[in-house]
């Protein structure tokens, strides 16, 4: 009984963390858009430079806790998370700059679809039939929003899909790192430092001068990204991807709200259908997980 309650508590924490993460990342996408015309890598560099500062402070404060040191058994997972995460957020930034932010967010939220696949493949976390069904339905909902075409105008959408793939791989690595006892602060620090080092030389040679408001929006982008990274890291260390990943789709709802309020973006009829499918799937997923917990 106590074990069941503990598992339910961990799952609830994971769900709460992933919803907070979705809110932060939707807000980040808004600030990316408001920052205006800047190279994608420049936006990415400053986004993670701010995150690196916060991660460094937290890592220093928690340095004596377990899981705050890099060792040989987790270095490759950290590198995999950092590489996939860097590719993922750069593709997402490119997409956000060229599409409706709710649609771009939805493409990035293909990550849970990929996460469940990679978790089943690499972590041997077998999903139940309804969990696979929920992920597939959420993916169908995303198609209503994206309304994919096959011309050059589809390239930003393609980048969004690659961004979701990168994020899915990154989240799978986060889950495995959490199982190995690696601390969330170390994971975020390593990812942020990796991307800053990789993007730094490119930004140095292609730097575009920024206005005061652009500096402010990129600072806010970094702050929102920091919150998103820490919450998503916590989420996947508390619970398996198959149980909580669908809730990550709530980001598109937050993004749609920000788009309507600040960017005068209105979702069309098909997008609304997609949103309803995704929310409905998330509710159904929660009820099914709750039912399974009661039986165990």
C-alpha span between 160 and 89 (Å, rounded): 9
Domain extent, residue 244, equals 2-295
CB atoms within 10 A of CB 205: 7
Specify the DSSP class assigned to residue 296.
Answer: -
pLDDT digits (tens, 9 = 90+) for 97-140: 888 888 888 777 777 677 777 777 777 777 777 878 887 887 78
- pLDDT for position 217: 95
| Positive or negative: CA dihedral 51, 118, 175, 131 | positive
Of the ranges 65-74, 127-136, 212-221, 242-251, the best mean pLDDT one: 212-221
Whether the Cβ atoms of residue 109 and residue 266 lie closer than 8 Å to each other: no
Q: Could you identify the residue written with the tokens 């159904």? A: 284
pLDDT digits (tens, 9 = 90+) for 185-238: 888 899 999 999 999 999 999 999 999 999 999 999 989 988 888 888 788 777
- pLDDT for position 296: 60
pTM: 0.79
Residue 126, phi then psi, degrees to nearest 5: -75, 125
Q: Helix (H, G, I), strand (E, B), or coil: what is residue 239? A: coil
Residue 187, phi then psi, degrees to nearest 5: -60, -45
C-alpha span between 143 and 264 (Å, rounded): 22
The percent of residues in the chain predicted with pLDDT above 90, rounded, is: 27
Domain count, the chain: 1
């Amino acid at each position: 009984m106590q074990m069941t309650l503990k598992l339910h508590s961990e799952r609830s924490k994971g769900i709460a963390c992933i919803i907070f993460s979705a809110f932060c990342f939707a807000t980040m996408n808004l600030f990316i858009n408001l920052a205006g015309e800047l190279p994608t890598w420049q936006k990415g560099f400053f986004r993670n430079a701010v995150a690196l500062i916060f991660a460094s402070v937290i890592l220093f404060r928690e340095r004596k806790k377990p899981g705050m040191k890099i060792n040989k058994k987790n270095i490759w997972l950290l590198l995999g998370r950092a590489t996939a995460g860097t590719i993922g957020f750069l593709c997402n930034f490119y997409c956000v700059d060229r599409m409706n932010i709710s649609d771009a967010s939805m493409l990035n939220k293909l990550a849970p679809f990929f996460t469940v696949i990679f978790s089943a493949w690499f972590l041997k976390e077998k999903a139940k039939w309804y969990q696979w069904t929920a992920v597939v339905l959420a993916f169908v909902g995303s198609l209503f929003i994206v309304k994919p075409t096959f011309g050059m105008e589809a390239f930003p959408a393609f980048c969004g899909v690659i961004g979701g793939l990168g994020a899915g791989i990154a989240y799978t690595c986060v889950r495995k790192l959490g199982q190995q006892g690696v601390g969330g602060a170390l994971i975020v620090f390593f990812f942020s430092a990796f991307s800053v080092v990789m993007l730094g030389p490119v930004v140095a040679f292609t730097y575009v001068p920024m206005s005061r408001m652009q500096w402010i929006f990129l600072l806010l982008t970094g702050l929102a990204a920091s919150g998103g990274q820490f919450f998503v890291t916590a989420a996947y260390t508390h619970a398996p991807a198959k149980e909580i990943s669908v809730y990550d789709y709530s980001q598109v709802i937050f993004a749609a709200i920000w788009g309507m309020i600040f960017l005068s973006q209105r979702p069309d009829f098909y997008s609304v259908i997609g949103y309803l499918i995704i929310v409905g799937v998330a509710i159904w997923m929660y009820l099914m997980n709750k039912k399974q917990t009661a039986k165990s």
